[in-house]
Chains A and B, each alone.
Chain A
Amino acid sequence: MHPFSYVAPKTIDEAVAVLEKNGTRARPFAGGTDLLVQARANKWDLDTVVDIKKIPETMSLEVSQEGLTIGSGVPCYQVYNNEQIKKEYPGIVDGALIIGGIQIQSRATIGGNLCNAAPSGDSICPLIVYNAVAHISGPSGSREVAVEDFCTGPGSTVLQNGELLVKIVVPKPNAGSGTAYQRFTPRNEMDIAVAGVAVSVQLNNNGDDFESVRIALAAVGPTPILANKAGSSLSGKPINDDSISEAASLAKEEASPISDMRGTIEQRKHLIEIITTRMIKEAVKRARG
Chain B
Amino acid sequence: MVQVFENKTSYNVVGTRPIRHDGIDKVTGRAIYGADVKVPGLIWGEVLRSTEVHARIKSIDTSAAKKMPGVFAVMVHQDLADPGTETTRNGLQDVDREFFNIMAKDKVLYKGHVIAAVAAIDRNTAQEATRLIKVEYERLEPVRNVDEATSPNAPILIEDLIGDHLGENVANTNIATHFRHEFGDVEGGFKLADLIVDREVSLEMVHQGYIEPHNATVIWHEDDKLTVWSSTQGSFGVRDQTAKFVGVSPSQIRVNYSEIGGGFGGKTKVYLSPIAAILSKKSGGKPVKIVMDRPSVFQATGPAPGGKVKVKMGVTNNGKITAAEATIRYEAGAYPGSAVNAGAICIFGCYNIPASRIDGFDIVVNKPKSAAYRAPGSPQAAFAIETVVDEICENKGWDKIQFRLDNAAKKGTRRGDGVLLEKVGFEESLDATRNSSHWNSPLGKPDNGKLRGRGLACGYWMNGGGPSTCDLMLSDDGTVMMNEGSADIGGTRASIAMQAAEVLGLAAEDIKPSIPDTDSIGFTGTTGGSRTTFATGYAAYLAAQSMVKELKTRASILWEIDETDIEFSNGVFRSTKESELKLSIKELAEKLGVTGAPVSTTSSVNMAAGGNGYAVHICDLEIDPETGKTDVVRYTAIQDVGTAIHPSYAEGQIQGGVVQGIGWALNEEYFINDDGSMANYSFLDYRMPTSLDLPMIETIMVEVPNPNHPYGVRGVGEVPLCPPIAAVGNAINDAIGKRIYEQPIKPGRILDAISKD
Show the binding face of A for B, using Cβ within 8 Å: 1-3, 40-42, 184, 186-192, 194, 260-264, 267, 270-271, 274
| Residues in B neighbouring A187, C-beta threshold 8 A | 667, 687, 689-690, 692-693
Chain A proximity mask over B666-704: 1 for CB below 8 Å, otherwise 0: 110001000000011000110101101100000000000
Q: With A3-B124, A267-B748, A274-B626 given, is the CB distance from A261 to B692 under 8 Å?
A: no
* In-complex Cβ contact of A270 among B124, B693, B751 (8 A): B751
In Å, the complex CA distance between A271 and B690 comes to 23
| Residues in A neighbouring B626, C-beta threshold 8 A | 274
Q: Is the CB–CB distance between B684 and A267 below 8 Å?
A: no
* In-complex Cβ contact of B679 among A1, A186, A260 (8 A): A260
Tell yes or no: B629 within 8 A of A by CB.
Answer: yes
> 16 extra interchain contacts, Cβ-Cβ under 8 A, other than A184-B747, A187-B693?
A1-B127, A2-B128, A3-B124, A41-B295, A186-B629, A186-B666, A186-B667, A187-B689, A188-B631, A191-B687, A261-B679, A261-B685, A263-B747, A263-B748, A267-B751, A274-B627
Q: Is the CB–CB distance between B693 and A267 below 8 Å?
A: no
Q: With A1-B127, A261-B685, A263-B748 given, is the CB distance from A184 to B671 under 8 Å?
A: no
Q: Who on chain B is nearest to A184 by CB?
A: B627
Q: Is the CB–CB distance between B748 and A188 below 8 Å?
A: no
Q: Who on chain A is nearest to B747 by CB?
A: A186
In Å, the complex CA distance between A264 and B689 comes to 21
Nearest CB on B from A122, distance (A): 13
| Residues in A neighbouring B295, C-beta threshold 8 A | 41
| Residues in A neighbouring B628, C-beta threshold 8 A | 267
Q: With A190-B690, A191-B684 given, is the CB distance from A261 to B671 under 8 Å?
A: yes
Tell yes or no: B746 within 8 A of A by CB.
Answer: yes
| Residues in A neighbouring B671, C-beta threshold 8 A | 261
| Residues in B neighbouring A192, C-beta threshold 8 A | 684-685
Q: Is the CB–CB distance between A262 and B685 below 8 Å?
A: yes
In Å, the complex CA distance between A203 and B679 comes to 44
Nearest CB on A from B47, distance (A): 15
| Residues in A neighbouring B751, C-beta threshold 8 A | 267, 270
Question: Nearest 6 pairs between A and B by C-beta?
Answer: A261-B671, A261-B679, A267-B748, A188-B692, A274-B626, A261-B680
Nearest CB on B from A103, distance (A): 13
Q: Who on chain B is nearest to A277 by CB?
A: B626
In Å, the complex CA distance between A191 and B686 comes to 10
Nearest CB on A from B484, distance (A): 37
Q: Which of A3, A186, A189, A194 has the most CB of B within 10 A?
A: A186
Q: Pick 7 A–B contacts, CB within 8 A, sort by A.
A: A1-B124, A1-B127, A184-B627, A186-B666, A187-B687, A189-B690, A264-B748
Which residues 632-683 of B sit at the A interface, judged by CB distance below 8 A?
666-667, 671, 679-680
Q: Who on chain B is nearest to A40 by CB?
A: B293
Nearest CB on A from B565, distance (A): 66
In Å, the complex CA distance between A188 and B685 comes to 13
Q: Is the CB–CB distance between B747 and A267 below 8 Å?
A: yes
In Å, the complex CA distance between A26 and B751 comes to 45
- Tally of chain B residues near chain A (CB < 8 A): 27
| Residues in A neighbouring B128, C-beta threshold 8 A | 1-2
Show the binding face of B for A, using Cβ within 8 Å: 124, 127-128, 131, 293, 295, 626-629, 631, 666-667, 671, 679-680, 684-685, 687, 689-690, 692-693, 746-748, 751
Q: Is the CB–CB distance between B124 and A188 below 8 Å?
A: no
Q: Who on chain A is nearest to B628 by CB?
A: A267
| Residues in B neighbouring A1, C-beta threshold 8 A | 124, 127-128
| Residues in B neighbouring A42, C-beta threshold 8 A | 131
Q: Is the CB–CB distance between B684 and A184 below 8 Å?
A: no
Q: Who on chain A is nearest to B744 by CB?
A: A186
In Å, the complex CA distance between A189 and B683 comes to 12
* In-complex Cβ contact of B687 among A2, A186, A264, A271 (8 A): A186
Q: Is the CB–CB distance between B124 and A2 below 8 Å?
A: yes
* In-complex Cβ contact of B746 among A3, A186, A271 (8 A): A186
Q: Who on chain A is nearest to B127 by CB?
A: A1
Nearest CB on A from B408, distance (A): 36
In Å, the complex CA distance between A107 and B647 comes to 41
Q: Is the CB–CB distance between A184 and B629 below 8 Å?
A: yes
| Residues in B neighbouring A186, C-beta threshold 8 A | 629, 666-667, 687, 746-747
Q: Who on chain B is nearest to A192 by CB?
A: B684
Q: Who on chain A is nearest to B680 by CB?
A: A261
| Residues in B neighbouring A271, C-beta threshold 8 A | 627
| Residues in B neighbouring A260, C-beta threshold 8 A | 679
In Å, the complex CA distance between A186 and B623 comes to 11
In Å, the complex CA distance between A81 and B124 comes to 38
| Residues in A neighbouring B680, C-beta threshold 8 A | 261
Nearest CB on A from B309, distance (A): 24
In Å, the complex CA distance between A238 and B626 comes to 25
| Residues in A neighbouring B631, C-beta threshold 8 A | 188
Nearest CB on A from B526, distance (A): 32
Nearest CB on A from B677, distance (A): 11
| Residues in B neighbouring A190, C-beta threshold 8 A | 684, 690, 692
| Residues in B neighbouring A274, C-beta threshold 8 A | 626-627
Q: Who on chain A is nearest to B669 by CB?
A: A261
Nearest CB on A from B653, distance (A): 24
Nearest CB on A from B683, distance (A): 8
Q: Which of B293, B627, B685, B687 has the most CB of A within 10 A?
A: B627
Nearest CB on A from B365, distance (A): 19
Nearest CB on A from B630, distance (A): 8
Nearest CB on A from B427, distance (A): 37
| Residues in B neighbouring A2, C-beta threshold 8 A | 124, 128
| Residues in B neighbouring A267, C-beta threshold 8 A | 628, 747-748, 751
Q: Who on chain A is nearest to B684 by CB?
A: A192
Q: Is the CB–CB distance between A188 and B690 below 8 Å?
A: yes
In Å, the complex CA distance between A262 and B686 comes to 10
In Å, the complex CA distance between A3 and B689 comes to 36
Q: Who on chain B is nearest to A195 by CB?
A: B627
Q: Who on chain B is nearest to A189 by CB?
A: B692
Q: Who on chain A is nearest to B755 by CB?
A: A270
Q: Which of B127, B626, B680 has the most CB of A within 10 A?
A: B626
In Å, the complex CA distance between A194 and B295 comes to 21
| Residues in A neighbouring B127, C-beta threshold 8 A | 1
In Å, the complex CA distance between A18 and B149 comes to 54
In Å, the complex CA distance between A188 and B630 comes to 10
Nearest CB on A from B633, distance (A): 12
In Å, the complex CA distance between A40 and B131 comes to 13
In Å, the complex CA distance between A275 and B147 comes to 38
Nearest CB on A from B730, distance (A): 20
Q: Who on chain B is nearest to A188 by CB?
A: B692
| Residues in A neighbouring B693, C-beta threshold 8 A | 187-188
| Residues in B neighbouring A3, C-beta threshold 8 A | 124
Nearest CB on B from A230, distance (A): 18
Nearest CB on B from A80, distance (A): 17
Nearest CB on A from B697, distance (A): 16
In Å, the complex CA distance between A188 and B679 comes to 22
Nearest CB on A from B130, distance (A): 11
Q: Who on chain A is nearest to B679 by CB?
A: A261
| Residues in A neighbouring B666, C-beta threshold 8 A | 186
| Residues in B neighbouring A263, C-beta threshold 8 A | 747-748
Nearest CB on A from B673, distance (A): 8
| Residues in B neighbouring A270, C-beta threshold 8 A | 751
In Å, the complex CA distance between A48 and B78 comes to 39
Q: Who on chain A is nearest to B678 by CB?
A: A261
| Residues in B neighbouring A194, C-beta threshold 8 A | 747
In Å, the complex CA distance between A285 and B746 comes to 31
Nearest CB on A from B691, distance (A): 9
Q: Who on chain B is nearest to A101 by CB?
A: B690
Q: Who on chain A is nearest to B295 by CB?
A: A41
| Residues in B neighbouring A188, C-beta threshold 8 A | 631, 690, 692-693
In Å, the complex CA distance between A261 and B674 comes to 11
In Å, the complex CA distance between A188 and B671 comes to 20
In Å, the complex CA distance between A222 and B76 comes to 41
Q: Who on chain B is nearest to A278 by CB?
A: B626
| Residues in A neighbouring B690, C-beta threshold 8 A | 187-190
In Å, the complex CA distance between A271 and B671 comes to 21
Q: Who on chain B is nearest to A270 by CB?
A: B751
